[in-house]
Amino acid sequence: MSHDKIRAAARKRMAETGESYATARREVIKNYQAAGAGASFPSARWFAMDYSDMGRGSWLDPLLGRGPAGNGGVEVDSDVLRVRTWDFHMDIPRGSVRSVARSEHQTRGTIGVHARRGTWLVNGSHEGLVELAIDPPCYLPRQPTTLFRKMKASSLIISLVDPDGFIAAVQRNGSHS
């Protein structure tokens, strides 16, 4: 892949995900290498998290990369779903996604990242909730939201701006639902 194509793909990814140029470039190269040298840039779709119920937030939020200015969401790639918020990171192998559907989960007014018995709720809104059933379960990396422990995730509920588009993208690319 030529430098111009890498730069163009990285800039496109930056616009879609809000990542820095260096991060976007690294991911573009990694995806290209995983696809093989003869392949073109593999397509990935970004689905933004819905932050509509968070309100205005703090003036520190944009500086810390969180909240509505934080560009959280899910990247749907051919072999992995990458969930990213300012303080929560999770990579779900496509083979582990058993089902994806709209969620009827009652958030009871909570917003943020919460876990209970392997079920993770990552939301900035009470609307647009989508639930992923994960089997075999994934283990989250050590991060602030897991209190720096390695924790299991057998289900993920996330609030998205375009939940139906996300469901269609995951099902189209090989989900079991």
For helices 3-17 and 21-35, the axis angle rounded to 10 degrees is: 120
pLDDT, position 59: 46
The arithmetic mean of pLDDT across residues 8-34, rounded, is 79
Give the pLDDT band (50/70/90) at residue 173. Answer: low
What are the tens digits of pLDDT across the range 80-94?
999 988 778 889 999
Question: Long-range CB contacts (< 8 A, 24+ apart) of 27-34?
Answer: 29/1, 31/77, 32/1, 32/6, 34/79
Using the structure block, give the residue that is written with the tokens 């918020």: 85
CATH topology of domain 44-172: PH-domain like (2.30.29)
Phi, psi of 111 (to 5 degrees): -135, 140
Q: Is the pTM of this model over 0.85?
A: no
Give all strands (DSSP E) within the chain, no chain letters. Answer: 45-48, 73-76, 80-84, 89-93, 97-102, 112-116, 119-123, 129-140, 151-159
What are the tens digits of pLDDT across the range 47-83?
888 877 665 555 445 445 455 545 688 989 888 999 9
The arithmetic mean of pLDDT across residues 103-109, rounded, is 82
The arithmetic mean of pLDDT across residues 4-23, rounded, is 81
Q: Would you say 169 and 132 are in contact if contact means Cβ atoms under 8 Å apart?
A: no
Region(s) of the chain under CATH 2.30.29? 44-172
What are the tens digits of pLDDT across the range 30-48?
776 665 544 445 567 888 8
